[in-house]
């Protein structure tokens, strides 16, 4: 893939040193290190907003599973019904 776009970043000296040390430890350029880290972060940020494509067979299997009635899972119900420290704060 051609790299024909540019992104400029301004960082403080401490972060620059951190990026330089981390990229050196991995034997990569600072640009490659930051680009890869930013790509992973962007993919995670968008993971639950992605369109999922399924074949007809996969869709049929998913549809069959989603049509099943919910099962009662007593241990899970107990866990969800047990008050936590957060409940005390509210």
On whether residue 76 sits in a domain, the answer given is yes
Phi, psi of 10 (to 5 degrees): -110, 130
On whether residue 23 sits in a domain, the answer given is yes
Per-residue pLDDT tens for 2-54?
Answer: 888 999 999 999 999 999 999 999 999 999 999 999 999 999 999 878 777 89
Summary mean pLDDT of the chain: 92
Token look-up 């301004």 returns 10
Number of domains in the chain: 1
pLDDT score for 87: 82
On whether residue 4 sits in a domain, the answer given is no
Give me the domain span that covers residue 36: 13-89
Model confidence, pTM: 0.54
On whether residue 7 sits in a domain, the answer given is no
On whether residue 68 sits in a domain, the answer given is yes
């Amino acid at each position: 893939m051609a790299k024909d776009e540019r992104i400029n970043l301004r960082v403080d000296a401490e972060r620059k040193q951190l990026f330089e040390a981390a990229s050196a430890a991995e034997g990569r350029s600072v640009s490659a290190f930051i680009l890869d880290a930013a790509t992973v972060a962007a993919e995670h940020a968008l993971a639950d907003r992605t369109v999922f494509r399924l074949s007809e067979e996969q869709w049929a299997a998913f549809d069959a599973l989603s049509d099943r009635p919910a099962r009662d899972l007593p241990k899970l119900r107990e866990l969800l019904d047990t008050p936590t420290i957060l409940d005390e704060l509210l």
